[in-house]
Amino acid sequence: MAEEAILGYLESKDEISDSGQFATERGLDHNEVVNVIKSLHGFRYVVAQDIKREMWMLTDEGNAYTVTGSPEVQLFLAIPPEGIPKEELQKKLDPSVFKIGSAQAAKRKWVEMGKQLVTRKIQHVEDEVKNLLLQIQDGQVINQDEIKALKARKLIVPQTWKGYSVKKGPNYAPKRKKVATDLTRENLQRGDWKELEFKEYNFSAKGLPIESGHLHPLLKVRHQLKGIFRQMGFEEMPTNNYVESSFWNFDALFQPQQHPARDSHDTFFLQVPSTTKQLPEDYVERVKQIHESGGYQSRGYGYDWKREEADKNLLRTHTTAVSSRMLYALAQKPFVPKKYYSIDRVFRNEAVDRTHLAEFHQIEGLVCDRGLALGDLLGVLKEFFSRLGMSKLRFKPAYNPYTEPSMEIFSYHEGLGKWVEIGNSGMFRPEMLLPMGLPEDVRVIAWGLSLERPTMILYGIDNIRDLFGHKVDLGLIKKNSICRLGL
């Protein structure tokens, strides 16, 4: 309807100067006219130009008076020729109509508000307010004084009206041609492809988003880290067991059985199966010895080592449990130097907050060779972290039951403008390595860090619960960019 009207009109006339007027004259809905104009403009059948007008619109109160009449007229009509006591008149009318109506009617000198009676002063009144409101509703222009008065009574408010003026466009035709979007087999068979007009390709249209799986930021960062380890010649350790025995997680690492980390407040112990099935007995004996009375020039801890404690199953609290298994396995064969790494999940019975979850991922690296020294550890750490994009490092003496010396690793964070702790490191103690059976001159340098910390820094996430767990926004996971480290 609207389309025919517009194209038809432009066939003989130069311009539709006002879409609003055009719509009213033809009894068309202006919104529909606007939509058609936009579409015709898009296909360049017409050229449309915006026009704006300040218009007046009726308020709810104004709208109501177009139906009921203005309060002053309602009041006037409620007064019988002989007059009426004020109280009675008040009862006949709505309180707001009475209040506004009596003020307005008195102002216009239509009524006399006497002590006894309210009476008419004239016989007939015109409802000008209602008529003006109806004219405004109809889009007619009325004079400024009247507008002012209605505005003051809050019966109308200003509103910007938007429409178009329309001229023929370069593709103008009295009727829109149907354009073909596809060349079909039928078009070819019938030969009508020669006459068809094809829709132009829109090369800047966006393609459909591809529905596919998405890598979580932790996986992207892990992928990059694996690349760094591999480039540095490290082999991956098998970390496919979340359940570990206390023995490999703690005892083999020379961590005494009364150490606070071995408490159920810090460690998740398993109820079923609660204990491990088997351990290498002769090695267990040597570990017991070193804890109780020492050896290899160590004094040991001097306490009663209990097998039941070592047998207890737990969810591994660090991937160093895997490193201890690997080093033990290495010691069972003629010695060869090794560089190992792992990146996998660990569990700690911790209170959850912005920076802690009860499970997270650890990155761990170790180098095992004859005659390594602390300088080697510093060198490897500098190399490793500079590949992560962190080249300003500082080290702080620390304590781990299984390393001596031990160092916390700090990196200068340009964004935060301060030093942040990024990991922990050290040289595994002889009390850990010698009972395994490694040659005496073999040293192991090692370090560990969380995968979450660098991922949060790289992706600008400040609450760990936005990164991992059930509160994570999947939309964000889909949109995250790929990770590039050290660039």
Residues that bind ligand PHE (CB under 6 A): 318, 320, 364, 400, 403, 424-426, 446-448
H-helix or E-strand spanning residue 34: helix 30-42
Q: Which structure tokens are listed for 194?
A: 């020669």
Q: Which is nearer to ligand PHE, 111 or 343 (CB)?
A: 343
Q: Which is nearer to ligand PHE, 139 or 405 (CB)?
A: 405
Bond into 405 cis (ω within 30): yes
CB of 308 to ligand PHE, least distance (A): 24
Q: Are 350 and 380 in contact (CB under 8 A)?
A: no
CB of 228 to ligand PHE, least distance (A): 17
φ/ψ of residue 167, rounded to 5: -125, 170
Q: Which is nearer to ligand PHE, 74 or 257 (CB)?
A: 257
- Crossing angle between the packed helical segments 217-231 and 452-459, to the nearest 10 degrees: 110
CB of 468 to ligand PHE, least distance (A): 18
Residue 445, classed as helix, strand or coil, is strand
Q: Are 94 and 58 in contact (CB under 8 A)?
A: no
CB of 364 to ligand PHE, least distance (A): 6
Q: Which is nearer to ligand PHE, 100 or 438 (CB)?
A: 438
User: Among all residues, whose Cβ is closest to ligand PHE?
Assistant: 448
CB of 357 to ligand PHE, least distance (A): 15
Q: Which structure tokens are listed for 43?
A: 């296909």
Q: Residue 83: which of 51, 121, 45, 52 has the closest Cα? A: 121
Q: What would you measure as the largest C-alpha separation in the chain, in angstroms?
A: 127
CA distance from start to end of the chain: 61
Q: Which is nearer to ligand PHE, 66 or 320 (CB)?
A: 320
Bond into 435 cis (ω within 30): no
Q: Which is nearer to ligand PHE, 311 or 364 (CB)?
A: 364
CB of 290 to ligand PHE, least distance (A): 19
Q: Which is nearer to ligand PHE, 313 or 450 (CB)?
A: 450
Strands (E), 102-220: 111-113, 117-120, 156-168
**Cα 396 from Cα 402, distance rounded (Å):** 17
Q: Which residue has the tokens 């194209």?
A: 7
Q: Which is nearer to ligand PHE, 70 or 425 (CB)?
A: 425
CB of 208 to ligand PHE, least distance (A): 46
Residue 404, classed as helix, strand or coil, is strand
CB of 335 to ligand PHE, least distance (A): 20
CB of 404 to ligand PHE, least distance (A): 10
List the alpha helices (DSSP H) in 268-398: 281-292, 307-311, 320-331, 374-387
**Cα 289 from Cα 271, distance rounded (Å):** 28
What are the angstrom distances between the C-alpha of 288 and each of 167, 230, 307, 369, 427?
96, 36, 8, 26, 21
Q: Which is nearer to ligand PHE, 7 or 432 (CB)?
A: 432
